Homo-oligomer: A and B are copies of this chain.
């Protein structure tokens, strides 16, 4: 199966880096807080970060007491930044697609993945490897684009009023589980759409127990700061999941 590496495309890389550095980005306001809210106590823990990117998360896990972190990413350019900006004796960065983690010969207490799993075609294969790499009772925590986002492949995702305000999402093909291509800085960014029930059932069949799911929404404080985020009440941007090895 194809292992997609859009992040080594310079245009994508530059655009993506800019978003991540924006304090008010959806990642920073919604996705990261939701993901971190599901973390167990990391003191002394061994952690595997799938799609670690620039390694900022790895540094956060050290601050939270983690003892050892392996961060993998498919992008050489991103790992270059990670090694330069977020280096630590406790962190090992590996250039590796998520589909190849079966080759890692080590056990982890927590496997975590931020906004990377929707780029993976072989979800069940990755889940099976994560299950093997986890210690007994270990947890897998991940965020992904919302299933009502991954089913869309084209531009006219929203119907707007004459002032450009979003009226409703034009939802189609939610039940069609396939590769979708979208334009995000560059053409042909491939995402793999899976329905809610598929995500849940695949986790369970791989030997996980669902612990919690979050579809992050803005609270009053966030709405006061970022009024446009009210549109998330039509459709959340992310799905965040915590699952435990059985």
Which residue of B is nearest A170, CB measured? B168
Contact flag A200-B171 (CB < 8 Å), given A159-B159, A176-B233, A233-B176: no
A210 at the interface (CB under 8 A from B): yes
Q: B197–A200 contact, CB under 8 A?
A: no
Residue from the list B200, B204, B234 in contact with A175, Cβ < 8 A = B234
Contact present for A168 and B175 (CB under 8 Å): no
Q: Which residues from 225 to 246 on chain A have a C-beta closer than 8 Å to any C-beta of chain B? A: 232-236, 239
- Cβ B148 vs Cβ A171 within 8 A: yes
A209: chain B residues within 8 A (beta carbon): 209-210
- Contact, CB under 8 Å: B169 / A233: no
A169: contacting residue among B172, B196, B197, B200, CB under 8 A: B172
A189 contacts B by Cβ under 8 Å: no
Find out whether the CB atom of A195 lies under 8 angstroms from the CB atom of B171.
no
Interface readout for A205-228 with B: 1 if CB under 8 Å, 0 if not? Answer: 000011111110100000000000
Mark out the residues of chain A between 155 and 181 whose CB falls within 8 Å of any chain B CB in the assembled complex: 159, 167-176
Q: Is the CB of A182 closer than 8 A to any CB of chain B?
A: no
Q: Which residue of B lies closest to A211 (CB)?
A: B204
A201 at the interface (CB under 8 A from B): yes
For A210, list chain B residues within 8 Å (CB).
Answer: 200, 204, 209-210
User: How far, in Å, is A225 (CB) from chain B's closest CB?
Assistant: 18
Asked whether, in the complex, the Cβ of B235 is within 8 Å of the Cβ of A213, the reply is: no
Nearest CB in chain B: distance from A130 CB, A: 18
B175 touches A195 (CB 8 A): no
CA A159 to CA B196, docked complex, whole Å: 23
Please determine whether A196 and B211 come into contact, CB atoms closer than 8 angstroms. Answer: no
Q: Smallest distance from the beta carbon of A166 to chain B beta carbons, Å?
A: 9
The 6 A-B residue pairs with the shortest CB-CB distance in the complex, in nearest-first order: A175-B233, A197-B213, A168-B172, A169-B171, A168-B170, A171-B171
Can you list 22 A-B contacts (CB < 8 A)?
A148-B171, A159-B159, A159-B170, A167-B170, A167-B172, A168-B172, A169-B170, A169-B172, A170-B171, A171-B171, A171-B234, A172-B234, A174-B235, A175-B217, A175-B232, A175-B235, A197-B214, A197-B239, A204-B211, A204-B212, A209-B209, A209-B210
